[in-house]
Structure 1
Amino acid sequence: MSQQPAPGADAFLVDYFAAREAQRTADVNELLSRCTDREALLIKEAAVMGYVQGTRHSAGQDIPKDRQIAFGVLAACLVFPDLYPTITGWTPATDEDDEP
């Protein structure tokens, strides 16, 4: 027996995913606003080259625009800030007990 979603559940999810996408876009724009023009260009070019080198497309398959690729990469960096500290500015938290 399959369960039907509660009325309004689909609308809730659509709104939730739209809000999350808007927040990711705002976060990436904020990160880029802290970069110099050169830094932003280096990030974009590195993201696009990584995408191109790591992806194979079938004939006729759409390839995203460079800006879409860069936004996707930066959004992923923000999800794991400790893995990409150069881009995110992440620094490890220090505990008072850890200091000598």
Structure 2
Amino acid sequence: MNIKVYLMPFFLFVFSFLLSGQGEIEDEQKIIFRNENTFSASIATNGFALNYRYGKHINAYRKFIYDFDLAYIKHSKENRGPTPGSQRGFVYGKLNHFFAAGRGWLT
């Protein structure tokens, strides 16, 4: 048999006691803001999305977060094709626009 098959588990077992995954982290002063605002935008192959998040600190360990989303989602069967005599293309299979709106809050 191959000697590596036996030596690898042995070395992993022996040297695993020398490793330490957790240790003391230096105490750093944390800066706490009263309020926080976050804006984000994302683009995907089937649409785009905008997000706004507002956070309000209740005390040093808890905060209350409001979250608002707005997304435009394109159907997968939509297909843009050329229109004769026009620069704009025609979207085959398009019935309507779909905008998804969402809200939420976290504590």
TM-score tier, shorter chain, comes to under 0.3
**Larger strand share, 1 or 2:** 2
Higher relative contact order (CA 8 A, sep 6+): 1
Of structures 1 and 2, the larger Rg is shown by 2
**Larger helix share, 1 or 2:** 1
TM-score, normalised to structure 2, is: 0.19
